[in-house]
């Protein structure tokens, strides 16, 4: 099996890469944005490498237990201390392997990612930023807050609300676009 990078090292590598990136307008990414992007990247890490890392840790712990059991099977060693002989332990106890994080807690993409991509294709960048971006950012912040509180039910509900808000915004934008187009046509025929 190929060794998998430790999650702490992966998180540090992600943060270092994000610190080098720049945001809109050439400004460096804010600490909040770095934290948010690190959550996304680590979610992908857990999704794709978490099970392999867990397996690697279990195998390592089994090897250490096997080695400790082998040492325990050896006869006790006579240790000498200041002229008298005492029987001492064959080996020091081995610490348990650290518990690996479950891949079930992983996020792969940000909430509403596919819908965001679709809206960016359908609408111009200016329209997307003016109409949809704020609603999307607000709902994502609500989801992240629920995640930080470890409230799974609230996370699921906020995801539903995210899609409903974007659907409502989409319908409102469609209505406004049609109304503007009718007004343009009406104004051009009244000459």
3-state secondary structure 153-190: HHHHHHHHHHHHHHHHHHHHHHHHHHHHHHHHHHHHHC
Residue 183 CA to residue 144 CA, distance in Å, equals 41
pLDDT of residue 164: 93
* Shared-domain flag, residues 117 and 67: no
For residue 68, the SS3 value is helix
For 157, what's the count of Cα atoms within 13 Å in the CB-facing half-sphere?
Answer: 7
Residue 101 CA to residue 34 CA, distance in Å, equals 21
* Shared-domain flag, residues 38 and 103: yes
pLDDT of residue 81: 46
Q: Last residue of a domain, which of 108, 142, 157? A: 108
* Shared-domain flag, residues 132 and 104: no
pLDDT of residue 49: 65
* Shared-domain flag, residues 58 and 123: no
* Shared-domain flag, residues 75 and 21: yes
Q: Last residue of a domain, which of 85, 108, 131? A: 108
Structural domain count, the chain: 2
* Shared-domain flag, residues 5 and 91: yes
- Site of tokens 């999650």: 7
* Shared-domain flag, residues 66 and 115: no
* Shared-domain flag, residues 19 and 96: yes
pLDDT of residue 102: 52
Residues of the chain whose pLDDT is less than 70?
1-5, 22-25, 43-51, 72-108, 190-191
Q: Last residue of a domain, which of 108, 123, 147? A: 108
Could you tell me the residue range of the domain that residue 90 belongs to? 1-108
pLDDT of residue 44: 66
pLDDT of residue 168: 92
* Shared-domain flag, residues 20 and 60: yes
* Shared-domain flag, residues 39 and 99: yes
Please give the backbone phi and psi of residue 159, each rounded to the nearest 5 degrees, phi first.
-65, -40
Q: Are 112 and 140 in contact (CB under 8 A)?
A: yes
Give the whole-number percent of the chain exceeding pLDDT 90: 8
* Shared-domain flag, residues 61 and 130: no
Cα distances (Å, whole numbers) of residue 173 to 41, 139, 160: 32, 18, 20
Which residues are 20's β-sheet partners?
none
Residue 153 CA to residue 164 CA, distance in Å, equals 17
* Shared-domain flag, residues 118 and 58: no
Please give the backbone phi and psi of residue 166, each rounded to the nearest 5 degrees, phi first.
-65, -35
């Amino acid at each position: 099996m190929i060794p998998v990078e430790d999650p702490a090292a992966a998180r540090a590598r992600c943060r270092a890469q994000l610190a080098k990136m720049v945001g809109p307008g050439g400004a460096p990414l804010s600490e909040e944005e770095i934290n948010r992007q690190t959550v996304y990247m680590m979610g992908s890490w857990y999704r794709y490498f978490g099970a392999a890392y867990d397996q690697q840790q279990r195998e390592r712990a089994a090897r250490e237990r096997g080695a400790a059991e082998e040492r325990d099977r050896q006869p006790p060693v006579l240790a000498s201390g200041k002229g008298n002989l005492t029987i001492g332990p064959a080996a020091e106890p081995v610490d348990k392997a650290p518990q690996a994080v479950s891949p079930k807690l992983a996020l792969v993409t940000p909430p509403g990612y596919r819908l965001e991509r679709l809206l960016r294709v359908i609408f111009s960048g200016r329209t997307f930023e003016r109409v949809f971006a704020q609603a999307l950012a607000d709902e994502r912040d609500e989801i992240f807050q629920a995640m930080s509180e470890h409230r799974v039910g609230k996370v699921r509900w906020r995801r539903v609300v995210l899609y409903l808000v974007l659907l409502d915004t989409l319908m409102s934008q469609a209505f406004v676009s049609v109304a503007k187009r009718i007004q343009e046509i009406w104004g051009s025929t009244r000459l």
